[in-house]
Amino acid sequence: MRKTVLLVLLIMSLAAAYYLSCEFNISPNIASEYVAVHNKKIELCKTCPPGFMLDQENKCISKNLYQQYESLQNIGVGGLKTALPKVRDGFTPQQIDLGRYLFFDPVLSLDGSISCSSCHDPLKGFSDGLALGQGINGAELKRSTPSLWNVAYLNKFFWDARATSLEAQIQGPLYAENEMGNTPDNLLSALNQISTYRRLFAEAFTKRSPNDSIELIEIYTAITAFESSLISLNSRYDQYAHGFHNALSDKEIEGLNIFRSFVARCAECHTPPLFTNQQVAVIGSPEPEGSAFDPGAEIVFNDPTRRGGFKVPSLRNIEKTAPYMHSGNFKTLKETAAFYNKGRGHAVPEGEKLYLHWHIWEPDLTETELERLEDFLKTLTDESFMPRIPEMVPSEVNEQIKTPS
Amino acid sequence: MYKKITLALLLLVAGILLGKYFFGTNDNAVVLPSPNKLYRATGEDGKGSIERNESLQGSIHEVKNGGSIQEAVKKAVPGDLIRVFPGVYKETVYVDKDDISFQGIIKEGEWPVLDGSKELNDAFLYSGNGILIENFKIINYKGNGIMGQAGNNFVLRNNWIMDAGVYGIFPQFGINGLIEHNILTGIEDAAIYVGMCDNIDVRHNEVFGNVAGIEIENSRHCLVENNLAYDNTGGVLAFITPGLPVKTTFDVIIRNNFISKNNHENFGAPGSIVSGIPPGTGILVMAADDVIIENNIISGNDNAGIIITDFKNGGAEASNDPDSEPNPDRVVILDNFMIDNGNNPVGELKALMMTQLSTTGPDILAIGGGEGSSIRDLKRYRTWGLGDFGSPEISSTSEVKTFLLDEPAEPREISKKDLGEMTYYGICSGCHAYDIRLIGVPTNVIQMIYKDNPQGIVDYINQPKNLREDYPEMPPQDYLSEEAKMAVAEYILSLKK
């Protein structure tokens, strides 16, 4: 009996690898075999990434245990058993998978040197491990690279909250001279010259003729689709939140209680279940030595009361994205927590008038309490839905070999 | 002879019993409060209030002096009652379960006391629904006395809270809650702070010697009734704080309260929203809409009886929020008994009154933006800035008995199939797909092995055995609830693709 099952399984595995061409779904031990078979052809996944259910209309619908709950005024902030904010979903498996190829493809930058993933590295929490981002030709950027985990739930993007959709956000780094350095025209012409992309875009965007050129909005949509699939909601904290109280150790629970206490007040802005309330807050965190003061949201909103204001980041997978804060000034979580403990406005440069957030005060936490906070923050780590890095991206496909249509 | 002995014995026994009755100190001498939760709400027709007695179904856990309330919480299951006897308890009690009741037992004036010794953060922290906390004395915490995060259907009453650092009672993100018969004093921010909540009644409380007495903030459908607020910096506040995820405050009734001599110096923490409240403020309405103020006695508040203002004039040193409408609209002032207010106006109001050649503040001040507000009998009061106030369309709010919901806010109804689907795609799909090999075996292979045997899948989920060398071992998924395990097992067996 067991042998039969094994045999069936073996046949099915091979069949899956050969026919479905969904590289995302290949486990590491047979990946090499798969690449050997398919290294001349890339095909888009027909199934949804984990965390999504394929519906009748070929759309991937987000599914998770937080859908059991409600939230006050449907805003998606609250306590442990609270619904998430409205999710960005409903993309097709093909759009998501195409977005994955684009995300990892350096052809998106002006000189083909860097891809989205150069800064949003999945192995570094979709950030880069640097204090400040690094663009094309090693250009040092002004702020640190935000993580992309759970961006499907966000409604503001960039540290200074200047974009309200992922499609708008994507255009920032694509066309910034010191980031990917590209131009819309150049990007379009580069992609339209790659036959694999023309085929894949036609597969992902079926409402137009397959012979039509790739359009900018399709590029943004596909990358948005992929980024929206980066879901991290299965941490040990989540197990606790859903009711399994043994998921956290006593020290971690102590950390949770400090986190949500009204002394530390972390949860007032980093509110569960996403660990951000998606607001702009002026907290007065310092710039790196010698750097000019970053006015942040003041510029975007043309409002001096928001000077030095930045979007409250989610803390999910925060363990993976050191260093911290908009300028990457703090190396560890404990150091970051200690910033909030040092007194309201202690790092505000002389002569700066900032409207500091009312929750910034002097909580007077002990060293032990800061350690417990760090313990708790590490329970927010979950990378179980890590997407696969493509073995090969379309710009690397040998164009000489014609693929059968 | 026997009769005499019997009689003597009887007398003796009676004497002992009588003695115990009059001088006894054993626990049995205390009549324990009802273990049942009294839930009050309006009838569906909105006329008259009804009282519903939710009788205790669960078990009772007793905590006595020297014991730990948290240990009892760990043992408790939804529906249970935790009775705490007089004594001093130095702990933070956190409750991440639904339907747990806490009942202090007060014996000859001795209360169960939660003492934070100015070292502990909060006394009670709850996230569950259906939490009841009554009869506790809470002192010397650094943070809050009672703090709720997203718990609905709560009852917080008969608590005596002193010197909590920040807030006395602070439900946040809660729907349908009753806060009544509490006494709070010495609190550096708001004694009772209803923050980002819906459908809350705050009544019969005594708040004194705090920076803010009762604060309704970024909340809707709130009734503040029959409270006594005195000697605070500000008595009763209804406002919007900018920069919070919930952007509105509206539908608030402030009725039948005694709001007197709220002239305490402001000892709020620098930067806190309440640190901008001028001492001597009876009622403050900032940016909130549809606030009705009726039948209050508002007296002896040295700055002003009622201040109605917008963000700009409200004195809050906070950054703006383009998503919050900054003006108080449609404020309705019905009959109120106002005397002796404004004897010593401060700050901007003082400067403002000087321009009127007056040294006293008004009963009612409206300053800044806002439209559609109205007042009954305007001429009766000393007012400033009420020129555009009309006549109210209503004369009374008596038809509103309560803002509590007719039925408790229920959790979302989830079918077994939905739960199975959420669990399968939300968790299992990280390693399993229907007919593709991922990290784990394809789901259709699981279906072959466990045909008609969901319990087999549940057993495997609880304690996986590595059956095959060609797959990594599955970690136990025993953190899932029993319902979720069975739901996902059945869902897996029902999948077609």
What's the one-letter identity of residue B401? K
Which residue matches tokens 């980041």? A313
Q: Are residues B370 and B464 located together in one domain of the fold? A: no
Please identify, among B365, B384, B403, the residue that sits at the C-terminal boundary of a domain. B384
Query: What residues of A are in contact with residue B174 (Cβ under 8 Å)?
Result: 72
If asked whether residues A220 and A182 sit together in one domain, one would say yes
Nearest by CB to B245, which of A6, A75, A260? Answer: A75
Interface test with B, best of A3, A4, A68, A299 (most B CBs within 10 A): A68
Which of these three, A197, A231, A265, is where a domain ends? A231
Residues B423 and B379 occupy one common structural domain: no
Q: d(Cα B111, Cα B373) in Å, to the nearest integer?
A: 46
A387 in a structural domain: no
Q: For an interface test with B, give the residue of A70, A262, A310 to mutate (most B CBs within 10 A).
A: A262
Can you list the pairs that B451-454 forms with residues at least 24 positions away whose Cβ atoms lie under 8 Å? Answer: B451/B493, B452/B493, B454/B486, B454/B489, B454/B490, B454/B492, B454/B493
Least confident of B25-29, B162-166, B341-345: B25-29
> B298 in a domain, yes or no?
yes
Detail the DSSP E strand segments found in A294-357.
309-311
Task: Provide the pLDDT for residue B467.
Answer: 74
pLDDT at res. B396? 95
Is residue B14 predicted with pLDDT exceeding 90? Answer: no
- Sign (positive or negative) of CA dihedral B381, B387, B391, B394: negative
Asked, for residue A249, whether it belongs to a domain, the answer is: yes
pLDDT tens digits, B234-283: 999 999 999 999 999 999 999 999 999 999 999 988 888 888 899 999 99
Q: Cβ separation of B143 and A262 shorter than 8 Å?
A: yes
Q: Would you say residue A186 lies in a domain? A: yes
Is the confidence at residue B328, as pLDDT, over 50? yes
Q: Which residues contact B277 (CB under 8 A, 6 or more apart)?
A: B211, B212, B233, B234, B237, B266, B268, B284, B315
What pLDDT is stored for residue B8 in this prediction? 61
If asked whether residues A137 and A22 sit together in one domain, one would say: no
Q: Give B383-431 pLDDT, tens digit per residue.
A: 999 999 999 999 999 999 999 988 888 888 899 999 999 999 999 999 9
Domain end, chosen from A188, A205, A231, is at: A231
User: Which residue of B121, B175, B412 is in closest CB contact with A69?
Assistant: B412
Domain end among A196, A231, A266? A231
A14 touches chain B (CB under 8 A): no
Per residue in A329-382, pLDDT tens? 999 999 999 999 999 999 999 999 999 999 999 899 999 999 999 999 999 999
Query: Looking at residue B12, what is its pLDDT?
Result: 59
- From residue A201, how far is each of A32, A221, A223 by CA, in Å? 26, 11, 12
For the domain that residue A112 is a member of, what is the CATH number? 1.10.760.10
Judgement on whether residues A376 and A357 belong to the same structural domain of the protein: yes
Q: Smallest CA–CA separation between B466 and chain A, in Å?
A: 13
B451-479 as b/e, with b when 16 or more CB fall inside 10 Å?
eeebeebbebbeeeeeeeeebeebeebeb
Same domain, A266 and A224: no
- Asked if A190 and A136 sit in the same domain, the reply is yes
Question: pLDDT band at B24, cuts 50/70/90?
Answer: very low
Residues A23 and A62 in one domain: no
First vs last C-alpha separation in chain B: 94
Say if B30 falls within a structural domain: no
The answer to whether residues B206 and B257 touch, using CB atoms and an 8 Å cutoff, is no
Non-local (6+) Cβ contacts of A193 within 8 A are none
For residues B163 and B477, the model is more confident at B477
Count how many domains chain A has: 3
Question: Looking at the structure, do residues B100 and B249 belong to the same domain, yes or no?
Answer: yes
Locate A1 and state its tokens: 């009996």
pLDDT at residue B179 is higher than 80: yes
Q: Which CATH number is B471's domain given? A: 1.10.760.10
Q: Which residues of chain A have pLDDT under 50?
A: 1-3, 5-21, 23-39, 400-405
Rounded to 10 degrees, the C-alpha dihedral B280/B286/B290/B295 comes to 0
d(CA B192, CA B205): 9
Are residues B203 and B339 part of one domain?
Answer: yes
- Shortest alpha-carbon distance between residue A310 and chain B (Å): 12
Q: Please give the average per-residue pLDDT across B432-447, as a whole number.
A: 91
| Interface list for A 158-217 with B (CB within 8 A) | none
ipTM of the complex: 0.89
Give A143-200 pLDDT, tens digit per residue.
Answer: 999 999 999 999 999 999 999 999 999 999 999 999 999 999 999 999 999 999 999 9
Q: Which two tokens stand for residue B172?
A: 């946040």
Q: Both A179 and A294 in a single domain?
A: no
Count: domains in chain B? 2
Domain end (from B384, B403, B424): B384
Window A:249-288, CB contacts with B under 8 Å? 253, 257-258, 260-264, 267, 271-272, 277-282
Indicate whether A170 and A287 sit together in one domain. Answer: no
Same domain, A289 and A320: yes
- The verdict on A68 and A214 lying in the same domain is yes
Same domain as B490, residue B364: no
Q: Is A396 contained in some domain?
A: no
Per-residue model confidence (pLDDT) at position A397: 77
The domain boundary residue, chosen from B360, B384, B408: B384
pLDDT in tens, B353-374: 888 888 888 999 999 999 999 9
Q: Residue A3 burial by CB count (10 A; 0-12/13-18/19+): exposed, middle or buried?
A: exposed
Whether residue A257 is found in the same domain as residue A271? yes
How buried is B331 (Cβ within 10 angstroms: 0-12 exposed, 13-18 middle, 19+ buried)? buried
Q: Are residues B379 and B427 in the same domain?
A: no
The closest CB to that of A51, out of B125, B426, B438, belongs to B426
What is the pLDDT, as a whole number, of residue A398? 61
Same domain, B173 and B243: yes
Shared domain check, A83 and A173: yes
Residues B245 and B364 reside in one and the same domain? yes
Phi/psi of residue B178, each to 5°? -120, 125
Closest Cα to residue A317, out of A380, A224, A242, A388?
A380
DSSP result, B430-472 = GT--SSS-SSS--HHHHHHHTTT-HHHHHHHHHS-----TTSP
Q: Is residue A62 part of a domain?
A: yes
Report pLDDT for B319. 80
Question: pLDDT at residue B52 above 90?
Answer: no
Residue A316 lies in a domain: yes
The DSSP bridge partners found for residue B133 are B102, B156
Pair B104, B135: CB distance under 8 Å: yes
CATH number of the domain enclosing B274: 2.160.20.10
For B430, the domain range is: 416-494
Of the candidates B97, B246, B430, the beta carbon closest to that of A384 is on B430
Mean pLDDT of B160-184: 94
Mutate to test the interface with A, among B169, B247, B436 (most CBs of A within 10 A): B436
Q: What is the pLDDT of residue A79?
A: 95
B126 and B218 fall within a common domain: yes
**Within-domain flag for B459:** yes
Residue A368 lies in a domain: yes
Nearest CA in chain A to B172: A78
Size of interface A-B (CB pairs under 8 A): 219
The Cα–Cα gap between A394 and A401 comes to 13
pLDDT interval class at B203 (50, 70, 90) = very high
Residue ranges of E strands in A2-63: 52-54, 60-62
Residues B112 and B217 in one domain: yes
The nearest CA of chain B is from the CA of A98 a distance in Å of 20
What range does the domain containing A28 cover?
1-41
Same domain, B300 and B426: no
Of the candidates B192, B216, B211, which has an alpha carbon nearest to the alpha carbon of residue B278? B211
Q: Is residue A386 domain-resident?
A: no
Same domain, B344 and B426: no
Q: Do B198 and A72 touch (CB under 8 A)?
A: yes
Average pLDDT, chain B: 90
Q: Would you tell me which residues 16-35 of chain A have a C-beta closer than 8 angstroms to some C-beta of chain B? A: 16-17, 20, 22, 25-27, 29-30
B309/chain A closest Cα distance in angstroms: 19
Best residue in A261, A298, A366, A370 for a mutation probing chain B (most B CBs within 10 Å): A261
Percent with pLDDT over 90 in chain B = 73
